[in-house]
């Protein structure tokens, strides 16, 4: 994915003092690293993107919540094993930094191969660690189609 597709055009600036030490820029890089790991189906890179903590949580579209790093990691291992190709185009990115917690909200436009394109609204929550920003929550929900029904193409 091209970096210009990941970065928000006109995203709101961080509040005063929130980007001390490049916090917002580092947060953006951490968010980009998550999607790069996903696109490259790179489990080692995904390991580096997440905090390995018992309160890590992930809600994939149409799935139940997973809690704890081990369960979250197993979900990515299964997704990667069953995926040949996946691409993300991100839009409506907004970043917020509040002390040692930060989040990104965005829309993921996901393409699986050439056939399936879905959109999900996502929230990525990060915690500042000694190694930088690490994800502690990814929550993705389907965006409704024109008729108001959730887009369920990703279930096919």
CATH at residue 89: 3.10.450.50
pLDDT on residue 145? 67
**CA–CA separation, 149 vs 143, rounded Å?**
8
Unique residue bearing structure tokens 């994800």 = 135
Nearest to 35 by CA among 99, 97, 102, 111: 111
Domain extent for 84? 3-155
DSSP state of 68: S
The pair phi, psi for residue 62, each rounded to 5°, is 75, 10
pLDDT of residue 99: 95
Instruction: Give the whole-angstrom CA distance, residue 138 versus residue 83.
Output: 19
* Sequence-separated (6 or more) residues with CB below 8 Å from residue 112: 83, 85, 86, 118, 154
Detail the DSSP E strand segments found in 62-130: 66-67, 86-98, 101-112, 116-129
DSSP state letter for 75: H
Query: DSSP assignment, residue 155?
Result: G
What pTM, to 2 d.p., does this model score?
0.80
Kindly tell me the number of DSSP H helices and DSSP E strands found in the chain.
Answer: 4, 6
State the pLDDT at residue 22. Answer: 54
How many domains does the structure of the chain reveal? 1
- Would you give the DSSP letter of residue 156? -
Residue-level pLDDT, tens digit, the chain, 156 residues? 443 344 443 343 333 333 333 589 999 999 999 999 999 999 999 999 999 999 999 999 989 999 999 999 999 999 999 999 999 999 999 999 999 999 999 999 999 877 768 999 999 999 999 999 999 999 999 987 665 554 554 443
């Amino acid at each position: 994915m091209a970096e210009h597709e990941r970065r928000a055009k006109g995203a709101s600036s961080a509040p005063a003092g929130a980007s001390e030490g490049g916090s917002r820029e580092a947060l953006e890089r951490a968010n980009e690293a998550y999607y790069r790991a996903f696109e490259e189906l790179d489990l080692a890179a995904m390991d580096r993107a997440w905090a390995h903590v018992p309160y890590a949580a992930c809600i994939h579209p149409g799935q139940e919540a997973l809690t704890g790093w081990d369960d979250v990691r197993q979900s990515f291992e299964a997704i990667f094993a069953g995926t040949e190709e996946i691409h993300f185009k991100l839009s409506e990115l907004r970043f917020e930094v509040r002390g040692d917690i930060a989040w990104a909200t965005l829309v993921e436009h996901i393409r699986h191969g050439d056939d399936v394109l879905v959109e999900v609204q996502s929230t990525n929550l990060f915690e500042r660690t000694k190694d930088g920003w690490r994800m502690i929550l990814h929550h993705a929900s389907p965006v409704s189609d024109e008729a108001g029904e959730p887009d369920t193409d990703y279930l096919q």
